[in-house]
Structure 1
């Protein structure tokens, strides 16, 4: 469990599934407005689907808390030596204060040692999110069309023994992926 600036980061269990659903939906409204699409996956996932995701052995979901309030989350799926980050979300009233950056770096400490690369995807027009990922060492690899949306895929190669730094600015992290 990591803690800094009054923010505690820890794994989210199924006992917080309702709060997590609420945080994600609030955070992803901005993305839905950007893309004029209220049906992005983060907004259409059901409570039951989210609970199944939280119970999966191949998924780690971290939450950021201030006191008893869940204020952000990040999800990482693990597949062999590859991890894929998704659903980085920070509540609207606290976006831009570094919480997303803290989550982005904290998740690296929850990956298996065998993880060699971490992928993240976001909407191609989500310029603030792409800038955040670039500052955190993720490089753009390709874009992919999925329905009406085009996603940008970015990758970070993990080096054995590398020191991870979290001293980045957090530019208005909105709901993502």
Structure 2
């Protein structure tokens, strides 16, 4: 989609973000047979508090006035951890997730050296998308009944600066 605008999400948009995340994560819950994924159980109050954290950047993708996707970035020293990448079900598979993933680079502090992302081990489409954009599988972690795959991308390798210019333009 070419008419997508990516920008920071504010606490005023928390309700809309909660709706987008819940809609997007239903398919993950079905894949894993677990309706209690954190993205589905987070309350509006918890989400609003998360948006206001100084070490978290939450980006949204809009088509017109409609919020159609989001991604959360937690910043820690020289590391950024991506999570909660969500695209509304009716627009999945149209490159919006990739646009969000690439836009993150603009919002990282200069000292960020590596970007981590995690997803369910059985979420093959997600793992494939991350791998396509330079993320390499590092390890799996078991949490309750779920196994998460952790992938990492080292910044400064593979022409990240060129990608940042493309995203900003």
So what's the TM-score if we normalise by structure 2?
A: 0.94
Q: Name the Cα RMSD after superposition.
A: 1.5
Deviation at 1:91, TM superposition (A): 0.0
Deviation at 1:108, TM superposition (A): 1.0
So what's the TM-score if we normalise by structure 1?
A: 0.90
Q: Equivalents in 1 of 2:145, 2:162: separation in Å?
A: 36
Q: Equivalents in 1 of 2:133, 2:26: separation in Å?
A: 24
| The one of 22, 28, 49 aligned to 1:52 | 49
Q: Which consecutive segments of 4 or more residues in structure 1 shift more than 6 A?
A: none
Alignment match, 1:108: 105
Q: Which has the higher contact order (CA 8 A, sep 6+)?
A: 1
Checking the alignment, whether the CA contact within 8 Å between 1:117 and 1:155 is kept in structure 2 is yes
Aligned length: 164
Checking the alignment, whether the CA contact within 8 Å between 1:119 and 1:153 is kept in structure 2 is yes
Q: Equivalents in 2 of 1:153, 1:138: separation in Å?
A: 9
Q: Equivalents in 2 of 1:136, 1:100: separation in Å?
A: 12
The structure richer in helix per residue is 2
Unaligned stretches of 5+ residues in structure 2: none
Alignment match, 1:66: 63
Q: Equivalents in 1 of 2:129, 2:81: separation in Å?
A: 16
Checking the alignment, whether the CA contact within 8 Å between 1:23 and 1:70 is kept in structure 2 is yes
